[in-house]
């Protein structure tokens, strides 16, 4: 069907303002947080309700049109890049929190609900939604479910999949299935767990039943300053080995610290090699002892100074500096690219050294933000997209860093997903048989291959043509 006719039929379903087909507006949708590759869809549809979403997908099914789901577009692996998918279905207008059950600690949110709205809705009742990506004031529950997103506090509380009890999924056929729900332990295989983290390749999530957790009674946040990343990494290993599970255990290296300091004046010493941000939470009883134990471990590993946030305002400043660190680093260069890899936590010093070597080899500036307690690294690579050679080196450096993670026994992604960015590296981690199983499982949900094609699992049949519409940034 011609795009014009499709747009008309979609407008009939979602209203005039629910379809974007003007070229200049479509440009907004040509990339998400991963900006190294861009391609605009032919149409963007913005349904207002779960039912409208299903109607849209049914129409696309009738017309055999492939689609790419999108939430807020903060993804960092190019999951929303349209590849052989003319229509983008954006769930950002599904903004309703449909029900809150405080006693059972459940909340049903539509896909477009922004992550931080969930906690805001229940914090008066001393509950919260634990997964807290740094993008939490923008990213959506639909995107979080698709990426199985994490955040600083997932060290203790777990990632999205640990807090999603049910999803409503519009299959690519337009059929709606509810998997799981408010009641746990339904018999049979865990399809909810399978759908979480599937990056929009199995259908569109319209609703999710979330688990709420009790807000911690008391919190201690401390900042330990080190001369080197190595010393800070050793401290991380020792904290973990001591039997204490902090709520968060984050590391920032010198480059990041300097950027953060310029942006927020959070009071970080400019000559520090690395800092650890450690948060402990739980009942007030016992917390002080844990904080002292952590401080002692840090001092033993050469921390030259330890600061304890004295009140909520000081704590907020430390976290603001951490959560906005990507943006702060971004100010140091025209462009930046955030990588995401994982190593076993005891291998942090090795991966950080490997990253430094990569930076040197490719003549790049790379800062490091780490969810250190989880072994989840976020090297931030600075570049200028007008310099084609530099862009090429950025991509190569990213691949090298991920290969190093895998070689150390880690993984290609801890929380940002495979998307288009890492699909070529999946064979580093998985055998052809593993990948074939994944391909077949995708086909169970999406036999025609119309949901977010060419993502997550490399497809032997991906031809150059299918990938032609995208262009490399400034290349």
Ligand X SMILES: Cc1cc2nc3c(=O)[nH]c(=O)nc-3n(C[C@H](O)[C@H](O)[C@H](O)COP(=O)(O)OP(=O)(O)OC[C@H]3O[C@@H](n4cnc5c(N)ncnc54)[C@H](O)[C@@H]3O)c2cc1C
Measured CA to CA, the distance from residue 336 to residue 206 in angstroms comes to 32
E-assigned strand segments in 102-194: 106-110, 127-128, 164-170, 176-180
**Size of the residue set binding other proteins (CB under 8 A):** 83
Which residue among 191, 306, 317, 333 contacts other proteins (CB under 8 A)? 191
* Site track 145-164 with ligand X (rule: CB under 6 A), x = hit: -xx-xxx-------------
Helix (H/G/I), strand (E/B), else coil: 453:
coil
Burial readout 39-63 (b: 16 or more C-beta within 10 A, e: otherwise):
bbbbbbbbbbebebbbbbbbbbbee
Out of ligand X, other proteins, none, which partner does residue 204 contact, by CB within 5 to 8 A per kind?
Answer: ligand X
Out of 254, 371, 393, 399, the only residue in the binding site for other proteins (CB under 8 A) is: 371
Give the nearer residue to ligand X in terms of CB position, either 88 or 291. 88
Q: Is 70 in the site for other proteins (CB under 8 A)?
A: no
290 in contact with ligand X (CB under 6 A) = no
Q: What's the N-to-C CA distance of the chain in angstroms?
A: 32
Among 223, 343, 336, 244, residue whose Cα is nearest residue 289 = 244
Q: Which two tokens stand for residue 382?
A: 């600075």
Considering only residues 165 through 184, tell me which ones interact with other proteins, judged by CB under 8 A.
177-179, 181-184
Q: Which residues pair with 278 in a beta bridge?
A: 222, 249
Give, in order, the Cα–Cα distances in Å from 469 to each of 43, 180, 391: 14, 38, 19
Picking from 7, 84, 81, the residue whose alpha carbon sits closest to that of residue 45 is 7
Q: Which of 101, 292, 360, 384 binds other proteins (CB under 8 A)?
A: 101
Task: Name the residue number minimizing CB distance to ligand X.
Answer: 143
**The dihedral sign for the CA sequence 351, 380, 164, 440:** negative
71 binding partner (options other proteins, ligand X, none; Cβ < 5 to 8 Å by kind):
ligand X
Rg from Cα positions in the chain: 22
**Interacting residue with ligand X among 71, 166, 410, 453 (CB under 6 A):** 71
Site residues for ligand X, window 81-110 (CB under 6 A)?
A: 91
449 interacts with other proteins by CB under 8 A: no
142 binds ligand X (CB under 6 A): yes
456 binds, among ligand X, other proteins, none (CB under 5 to 8 A by kind): other proteins
Nearest to 233 by CA among 163, 146, 286, 303: 303
- Residues listed for the chain: 475
Instruction: Tell me how many residues contact ligand X (CB under 6 A).
Output: 36
Determine if 204 is a binding residue for ligand X (CB under 6 A). yes
Contact flag: residue 342 with ligand X (CB under 6 A): no
With CB under 6 A as the contact rule, the residue among 19, 29, 66, 205 that binds ligand X is: 205
User: Which listed residue (270, 285, 313, 460) binds other proteins by CB under 8 A?
Assistant: 285
Nearer to ligand X, 73 or 246 (CB): 73
> Smallest gap, in angstroms, from Cβ of residue 86 to other proteins?
25
Site for other proteins in 424-443 (CB under 8 A): 426, 429-431, 433-435, 437-438, 440-443
Residue 176's alpha-carbon distances to 10, 51, 57, 447, in angstroms, are 19, 9, 10, 15
Q: How far is the CB of 69 from ligand X (least distance, A)?
A: 4
Contact status, residue 410 vs residue 341, Cβ threshold 8 Å: yes
296, two tokens: 């002692």
Q: Is 209 in the site for ligand X (CB under 6 A)?
A: no
Should residue 188 be labelled a site residue for other proteins when binding is judged by CB under 8 A?
yes
Q: Out of 80, 91, 92, 154, name the contact with other proteins by CB under 8 A.
A: 154
Q: Based on CB atoms, which residue is closest to other proteins, 63 or 175?
A: 175
Which residues have CB under 8 Å from 134's CB, separation 6+? 151, 152, 322, 323, 324, 325, 326
Q: Identify the burial level of 5 via C-beta atoms within 10 angstroms of its C-beta, where 0-12 means exposed, 13-18 middle and 19 or more buried.
A: exposed
Among the listed residues 16, 24, 185, 311, the single contact to other proteins using CB under 8 A: 185
Of residues 157, 155, 152, 159, the one with CA closest to residue 319: 152
Q: Which position among 75, 197, 216, 458 is part of the footprint of ligand X (CB under 6 A)?
A: 75
Footprint on this chain of ligand X (rule: CB under 6 A):
32-33, 68-76, 79-80, 91, 111, 133-135, 139-140, 142-144, 146-147, 149-151, 199-200, 204-205, 326, 415-416, 452
């Amino acid at each position: 069907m011609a795009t014009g006719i499709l747009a008309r039929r979609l407008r009939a379903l979602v209203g005039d303002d629910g379809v974007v087909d003007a070229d200049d507006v479509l440009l907004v949708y040509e990339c998400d947080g991963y900006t190294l590759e861009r391609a605009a869809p032919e149409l963007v549809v913005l349904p207002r309700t779960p039912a409208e979403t299903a109607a849209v997908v049914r129409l696309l099914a009738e017309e055999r049109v492939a689609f790419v789901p999108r939430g807020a577009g903060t993804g960092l692996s190019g999951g929303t890049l349209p590849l052989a998918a003319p229509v983008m279905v954006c769930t950002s207008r599904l903004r309703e929190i449909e029900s809150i059950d405080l006693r059972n600690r459940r909340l049903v949110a539509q896909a477009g609900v922004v992550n931080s709205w969930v906690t805001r809705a229940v914090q008066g009742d001393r509950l919260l939604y634990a997964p807290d990506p740094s993008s939490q004031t923008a990213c959506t529950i639909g995107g979080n479910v698709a990426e199985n997103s994490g955040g600083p506090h997932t060290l203790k509380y777990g990632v999205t999949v640990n807090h999603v009890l049910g999803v409503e999924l519009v299959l690519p056929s337009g059929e709606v299935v509810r998997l799981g729900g408010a009641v746990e332990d339904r018999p049979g295989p865990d399809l909810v767990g399978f759908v979480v983290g599937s990056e929009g390749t199995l259908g569109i999530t319209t609703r999710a039943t979330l688990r709420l957790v009790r807000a911690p009674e008391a919190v201690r946040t401390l900042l330990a300053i080190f001369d080197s990343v190595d010393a800070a990494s050793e401290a991380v290993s020792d904290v973990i080995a001591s039997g204490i599970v902090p709520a968060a255990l984050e590391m920032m290296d010198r480059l990041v610290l300097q950027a953060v300091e310029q942006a927020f004046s959070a009071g970080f010493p400019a000559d520090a090699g690395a800092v650890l941000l450690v948060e402990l939470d739980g009942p007030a009883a016992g917390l002080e002892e844990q904080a002292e134990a952590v401080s002692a471990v840090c001092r033993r590993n050469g921390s030259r100074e330890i600061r304890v946030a004295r009140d909520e305002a000081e704590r907020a400043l430390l976290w603001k500096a951490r959560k906005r660190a990507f943006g702060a680093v971004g100010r140091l260069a025209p462009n930046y690219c955030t990588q995401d890899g994982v190593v076993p936590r005891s291998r942090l010093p090795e991966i950080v050294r490997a990253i430094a070597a990569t930076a040197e080899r490719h003549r790049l500036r790379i800062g490091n933000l780490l969810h250190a307690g989880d072994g989840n690294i976020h090297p931030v690579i600075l570049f200028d997209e007008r310099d084609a050679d530099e862009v090429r080196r950025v991509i190569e450096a990213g691949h090298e860093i991920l290969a190093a993670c895998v070689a150390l026994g880690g993984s290609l992604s801890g929380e940002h997903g495979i998307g288009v960015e890492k699909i070529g590296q999946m064979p580093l981690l998985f055998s052809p048989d593993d990948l074939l199983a994944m391909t077949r499982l995708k086909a169970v949900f999406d036999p025609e291959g119309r949901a977010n094609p060419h993502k997550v699992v490399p497809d032997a049949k991906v031809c150059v043509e299918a990938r032609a519409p995208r262009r490399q940034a400034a290349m």
